Amino acid sequence: MSALEFIFVPFGLFIILSLFIRGESSLSKYIALTLFGFMLSFSFELYSALPLQGYMELGNYLEVKEFGFSLSLAVDRLSVIMLILTSVLLILVGLSSWSMKNQAMYFNLLIAFSGAIFGVFMSTDFLWFFIFWELTLVPMYFLVGIWGAERRVYAAVKFFLYTHVASMFILLAFFLIHKESGSFDMRFVKESMLLSPVLIWWLLFTGFAVKMPIFPFHTWLPDAHVQAPAPISVLLAGVLLKMGAYAMIRMVILLFPETSQEYAWVILLLGVVTLFYAGFMALKETHLKKMVAYSSISHMGLVVIAISTLSYAGLSAAVYEMLGHAFIIAPLFLIAGYFHHKTGSWQMQDMGGIMQKTPYVSAIFVVAGLGALGLPGTMGFVGELSILLSAMKSHGIWLAAIALASMIGAGYIIWTFRRVIYGEMSEVVAKTKFSMNPMEFLALLVFTLFIIGFGLFPSILFDAINPIFSSYPFLGGAL
Amino acid sequence: MISAFTLLFLAALLSIALHRSYFLKPFALMALGISAFFTLDGAVVPLSGFVSDVSTQLFELIVEIVLFALVLHEDEDISITQVLFIGAASVLLLQSNTLISFVLSFEAVSIISVVLVSYIKTKDQAEGAVKMFIAGALGTGFLFLGVFFYVMGGGDLLQEITSEANRFEIIGLFIMLSGIFYKLTIVPFHGWAVDSYALVRHSHAAILTAVAKTVVALATFKLFAPFLATHINLSVPLLATLAVITMTLGNFLALFEKNIAKILSYSSIAHAGYILLAFVAVKSEYAKDGILYMSIAYIFMQSAAFLVLDILRKKYEVQRLQELQGFVSQNAILAFFFTLQLFSLAGIPLLAGFLSKAVVFYAVVDAGFWYIALIALLNSALSVGYYAWIIKTIYFDKSTSKERHVEITLPLFAQIILAVGTIYFGIFAGVVFSSSL
């Protein structure tokens, strides 16, 4: 299949399947998993065919000459890495939704989502990028609104509106870029062509900051992530936030090197605030999934700090941390959702001593938690260390202070272990029977494997990531 | 060569003879099909003062497709005849090129609209019809007053509108515009619209808000654009203010409305604001693409939405938002089409609503008013609030009424035609751009 088909076949499948397959039929599930498998192999195919630097053309469709607007598909290393991450997560999310209710529609929506997200990472036309960017919201709106927890409707509508409003700034920025440079193609637009780069920079930065999310634009996230069903929280954290970070790197940092240099302090400041604010919020939280959500925001704060270095090493570390964050936060969300599903409570005090009842799942929670606090040997450690080093190199020694955030992280994670995993068994847990679908457990195992595997051998990832940024001369040197 | 106007006009007259027979609907559908064929051939109304170009042809074709869907949906004989009449009048208005032909065709559309809604069965419909009639009369009055000023200033009715207008002519043209704004439901000329759209039969409202509005907007733009472009200093502040007020007010009032028909009517007012933006951006070369695209998208999604309302009111007795709760379990297919059109109205991509708004807003940016475009974009984002709320009611809420099953009927085919239009123009923008030169 060609790249275009990977975008539009899912939409076609979505319409056909949702007209004919309903209820608890598991056909959609198998079709979805097969499709995601093809997507993964396609992403690896792209990766192996990729030149070391620059873009690889995948075709140009639906051209509108009069408007300079066409669906031009091209990938570079950054987008292919995001494609691989997306398809891996889609497969694992599919596995962990194995026993979801109202299955047919759920997987139909996942299929639609997969098309949109592939479009985001493959299109180099600003307007088409925006089209797919917005399109990812629609399946998410339904997935959160139908399958979510108690306050799902509020969360779904808030998520949809909040991120949609933010997108309007992005769209306006794209219009201004097109007006001033005459092109919608992000490969050909240069900062020097633009008359008002500062305005455009701020519009783009605000728009993407909401998605990442960066303090103070993060308020949609705790609601959406907590109310979403656990596998969808994984997609939100693992793919949607990454989409924001991807766009931030590609369209803010790499497209506007000079303006970014000028406002690097803004990015840095907001990154540090995000990191600490979310850390403290996680510390005071007694709602298990909210704690995970805030820890997720806190990790994105690290990514923001890494981006603010505008250096080769920093951006590589940012991409590494994005992957690490996806793999670490996913099992935490899944297990938090699982505990809630079984015990019926979100509160940590109701979950004490869960280790005695379900040791394997708890062990995975512990491994992922240790990854989140940055224990050596996990992806979390490598990510945090490389970000710390690059930040200190770019911004000065005082940034060693971000190591403190790691201590806060250790605080809330280990305290959570104490309250949820170990400790005395609570009455609720004693009454509950724990049993997990083998497929869902398999997904958790794979995540664990990634956390430890890429933590012990980070060079596998860094070898893939490093060439992305080496072709940009304005970025500072390596470590 | 016979023009689509002649054909539709004759068919409309003939159709009166076919009332109360089974042949009426097939006859009307056939007439529209054949007239589409003639439209493609490029025939012009055989009178002086009418011209056609590619963009006119495209839009005539679209109007004929939408009317085809409307006839499929319709089950009252008298309404089918009126649909044919409005088709003929639309062709006339779209092709009008001089002031006199514009005024006459505009009146034709207005009169047919009034005749359409005056098929009154209930008290509510009477109220809606009367309000519309009064507004239409006022609009006509303003239009003629404007014409009077224009002629006093030395304007020639048998020519296109002059772009180098003197003071009298300028006053006349702006008064004319205000008369036209009654039809376009621009604030402050919108007072009648919500009640009329919500109270008259929804399939009639579909014609009023979707067909009549877009046709008038497009014809007005064609005729007035050169004049507005030469008087930027005057037209831009005035029209921009009206556009911003219109869309903001429309969207805010829609947010607080509980009656679905009224929500969509307010959304129709908000869309009038977006349409007016194309007039603001007249300096940009994309303004004409923008208004053409906006009209195409709007005619598909708005008529589809109002036809769904018609089915909802007739079959399910649904009028208030509350009564739609869990509607997906009653009729999943209708819910799907309704959702699709609502997303399009909200400006969600891959549907015509998004690209049309994008082109109009881009034209505004291109003309140099990025802050107006920002207001419009935020308005559009705000509007997602009430559309998403309707969709939430349909999909997320628990159903209160008993299960009902889906029927495959002609109105469903009408929905399919309109949905295909909405999706097609959401992906293939090339058609619009290549035909608006």
CA A232 from centroid of its chain's CA atoms = 11
CB of A165 less than 8 A from some CB of B: yes
**Which among A142, A175, A199 is the nearest to B362, CB-wise?**
A175
Of A419-423, A469-473, B411-415, minimum mean pLDDT range = A469-473
Q: How far is CA A292 from the centre of its chain?
A: 14
Residue B299 structure tokens: 């005619």
Q: Which 3 state secondary structure label does DSSP give B348? A: coil
More confident residue, B41 or A123: A123
Cα A142 from Cα B33, distance rounded (Å): 39
CB B246 within 8 A of CB B290: no
CA dist., res. A280 & res. B280, Å (int)? 50
Q: Which of A270-284, A312-326, A459-473, B295-309 has the lowest mean pLDDT?
A: A459-473
Determine the pLDDT at residue B154.
84
Over the stretch A128-153, which tens digit does the pLDDT of each residue have?
999 999 999 999 999 999 898 888 89
Does A152 contact chain B (CB < 8 Å)? Answer: yes
pLDDT digits (tens, 9 = 90+) for A222-240: 889 999 999 999 999 999 9
| pLDDT at residue number A38 | 94
Contact call for A157 and B373, based on CB within 8 A = no
- Pick from A64, A168, A178: CB nearest B380: A168
| B1 band by pLDDT with thresholds 50, 70 and 90 | low
Tokens of A130: 């925006």
Tell me the average pLDDT across A410-431: 87
pLDDT of B430 strictly over 60? yes
pLDDT of residue B433: 87
A477 pLDDT above the threshold of 60: no
* Distance between CA atoms of residues B13 and B7, nearest Å: 10
Distance (Å) from the alpha carbon of B368 to chain A's nearest alpha carbon:
9
B307 lies in which domain range?
4-435
The predicted pLDDT at position B414 comes to 92
Could you tell me the CA-to-CA distances from B285 to A179, B23, B343 in Å, in that order? 12, 47, 28
Percent of chain A with pLDDT over 90: 51
CA A98 to chain centre: 22
Q: Could you please report the per-residue DSSP string of A143-203?
A: HHHHH--TTHHHHHHHHHHHHHHHHHHHHHHHHHHHHHHS--BTTT--GGG-S-HHHHHHH
Say if the Cβ atoms of B395 and A145 lie within 8 Å.
yes
Whole-number Å distance between alpha carbons of A330 and A242: 13
Beta bridge partners of B122: none
Closest CA to A364 of A82, A81, A85, A96: A96
Kindly indicate the confidence band of residue A479, based on its pLDDT and cuts at 50, 70 and 90. very low
DSSP A60: E
Name the closest residue on chain B to residue A176, using Cα atoms: B365
Cβ proximity of B204 and B307 under 8 Å: no
pLDDT for A478? 47
In chain B, positions 372-401, which contact chain A (CB-CB < 8 Å)?
Answer: 373-374, 377-378, 380-382, 384-385, 388-389, 391-392, 395-397
Partner B, chain A 11-40, Cβ-Cβ below 8 Å: 11, 18-19, 22
Strand partners for A56:
A75
Residue B368 dihedral angles phi and psi, to the nearest 5°: 100, 10
For residue B186, what is the enclosing H or E element?
A: none
Identify which of A206, A446, A147, A409 has the alpha carbon closest to the alpha carbon of residue A326.
A446
Q: How many residues make up chain B in this entry?
A: 437
Residue partners of B235: CB distance under 8 A and separation at least 6:
B228, B279, B280, B282
pTM: 0.94
The answer to whether residues B341 and B418 touch, using CB atoms and an 8 Å cutoff, is yes
**Per-residue confidence at B294, pLDDT binned at 50, 70, 90?**
very high
DSSP symbol at B398: P
Closest CA–CA distance from residue B92 to any residue of chain A (Å): 29
Window 65-94 of A, Cβ < 8 Å to B: 65-67, 69
Q: What is the pLDDT of residue B277?
A: 93
Q: Given CB atoms, is A131 within the 8 Å cutoff of chain B?
A: yes
Tokens of A448: 């664990």
Which residues of chain A lie closer than 8 angstroms to B358, CB-CB? 127, 171
Question: What pLDDT sits at residue B324?
Answer: 86
Q: What is the mean pLDDT of residues B303-322?
A: 89
Question: Among partner residues A63, A134, A157, which is closest to B389 by beta-carbon distance?
Answer: A157
Q: What is the pLDDT of residues B196-243, one digit of tens each?
A: 888 888 999 999 889 999 999 999 999 999 899 998 888 899 999 999
The ipTM estimated for the assembled molecules is 0.93
Distance from CA of B255 to the nearest CA of A (A): 13
Counted domains in chain B: 1
Listed residue (B240, B246, B136, B115) closest to B182, CA to CA: B136
State how far the alpha carbon of B242 is from the alpha carbons of B48, B220, B245, B249, B374, in Å. 34, 16, 5, 10, 16
Count of CB atoms within 10 A of residue A457's CB?
A: 11
CB contact under 8 A, B333 and A156: no
Q: Between these two residues, A470 and B309, which has the higher pLDDT value? A: B309
Q: Any idea which residue has 């938690």 for tokens?
A: A369
Residue B274: pLDDT over 90: yes
Interchain CB distance below 8 Å, A69 and B429: yes
Q: Report the Cα–Cα distance between both ends of chain B, in Å, rounded.
A: 24
Q: Which of B58, B56, B80 shows the shortest CA–CA distance to B68?
A: B80
pLDDT, chain A, mean? 89
B433/A66 touch (CB, cutoff 8 Å), yes or no: yes
Over residues B100-114, mean pLDDT = 92
Question: What Rg, from alpha-carbon coordinates, does chain A have?
Answer: 21
Nearest-neighbour CA in chain A from B388: distance (Å): 7
Q: HEC states along A230-283?
A: HHHHHHHHHHHHHHHHHHHHHHHHCCCHHHHHHCHHHHHHHHHHHHHHHHHHHH
Domain-by-domain residue ranges, chain A? 263-479
Q: Is the CB of residue A138 less than 8 Å away from at least one CB of chain B?
A: yes
pLDDT digits (tens, 9 = 90+) for B33-84: 999 988 888 788 888 888 888 889 999 999 999 999 999 998 888 899 999 9
- What is the structure's pLDDT at A20? 81
Residue B38 near residue B3, CB atoms below 8 Å:
yes
Please report which confidence band the pLDDT of residue B159 belongs to, taking 50, 70 and 90 as the band edges.
confident
